Amino acid sequence: MVSIGDMAPEARIELSDGARRDVTDYRGKPLVIYFYPKDDTPGCTTEAKDFSVLAGEFAAADVTVLGVSRDTAASHAKFSKKHALAIALVSDSDGSLCGAFGVWVEKSMYGRSYMGIERATFLIAGDGRIARIWRKVKVKGHAESVLGAAKALVSP
């Protein structure tokens, strides 16, 4: 599990358009990586739309936002198109990025335990260090909170 001040884990990622990059490719400017359980579910859709509404403000602050789930790139592309999302989505189909950030956790619902993605967000500074972590995220107002922290990180 990563902590504030740690270097962000290095990992190869696949974007919804099929492009592959390394997390380290984003160094030099702040990066927001938010993890969510599943495409096109109510909370995940709201969160993606909230980040999309603020995409222009993140871009104006020179901050990249990546949404990550274990859904496939094709699922992400469909989800993004359906909801006109303005943020990039990352497919972590093998779970390596979730594991590296410590968000693949045991969950329970209706008395049944299972493994799944903890809704969490990481703000990574331009030097690649974790600047802020939000765990067990509540969707309402979250994107605005992240934007505020990101702007504070880049303000002189």
Active site (annotated) includes residue 44: yes
What's the CA gap between 64 and 118, in Å, rounded? 21
- What does the block give as tokens for 37? 């359980």
CB burial readout 25-58, b (16+ within 10 A) else e: ebbeebbbbbbbbebeeeebbbbbbbbbebbeeb
Angstrom distance (rounded) from CA 106 to CA 117: 8
Considering the candidates 11, 33, 44, 124, report the single residue annotated as catalytic. 44
Residue that the structure tokens 């001040």 belong to: 5
Active site residues: 44
